Each structure stands twice: as structure tokens, then as C-alpha cells.
Amino acid sequence: MLTGIHILLTFMCNFACDQCFVFSGPNAKGTFTLSQLHIVLDEATKLGTIEWVFFEGGEPFLFYPTMIEGIRIARSKALSGHKKSILDFCSPKVPIFYEDIASAGSVNRLA
């Protein structure tokens, strides 16, 4: 049973890491729009089994407003919204943006 989905919000990233399995990088093209996110999350909700959504990339923070709104949309549909980012590998003391992410409804561990 499918209980979660990962949305590749963008292929763009600040880095071009050799190990990146989606070949993201500074020159990569392709980013979800809010319209597309509404469609995908509506369809995910219709399945009736989806409980959580991860927004990742590339680097989803490059499209910060879209990522935050995507988390809000997911939460409005009773889905648990999360983010995956290169910032996840940084020190937990880095408070950049985390207040907005928490207020949008993400249940990521932020500290």
C-alpha cells in the first residue's frame, strides 16, 4: 500500500554532486508550479492511503515560497508535509527558514 510520495520540487541545486541520483545542478531545468502541486496533491488525496509528502530536489529551498506553500497545501489536505534539503546535513543550530517551515505545518525535526 502506498502511504507517501516524494515530490521532486525542482532539479535545480546549488551543487552538482557526483552521487546525485537525479542529476541536479545549477543549470538543471524543471520546477513544479503551485498549479501542478495542487493537481498532484489532489490526486494523492483521492488515493485514500497517502499520509505524508516529502518536498525535495535538487534543492527545494531555491524555490522557498513554492516549498512553503506546498507544505501548507499538503497540510490542508490532512497530509503530513516534510522537506528534504542539503540543509538537513548542516548543523542543527542553523535556524534559517525553520520558523516558516514549522508554521506551514511541516513535522520535520527542526532542532
What are the strands, taking DSSP E only, across 1-111?
4-10, 52-57, 80-83
The pTM for the full model equals: 0.79
What are the extents of the domains in the chain? Answer: 4-104
Q: What is the pLDDT of residues 31-64, one digit of tens each?
A: 999 999 999 999 999 999 999 888 898 999 899 9
- Which of the pair, 24 or 87, is modelled with greater confidence? 24
**What are the strands of the beta sheet with 4-10, ordered from one edge?**
4-10, 52-57, 80-83
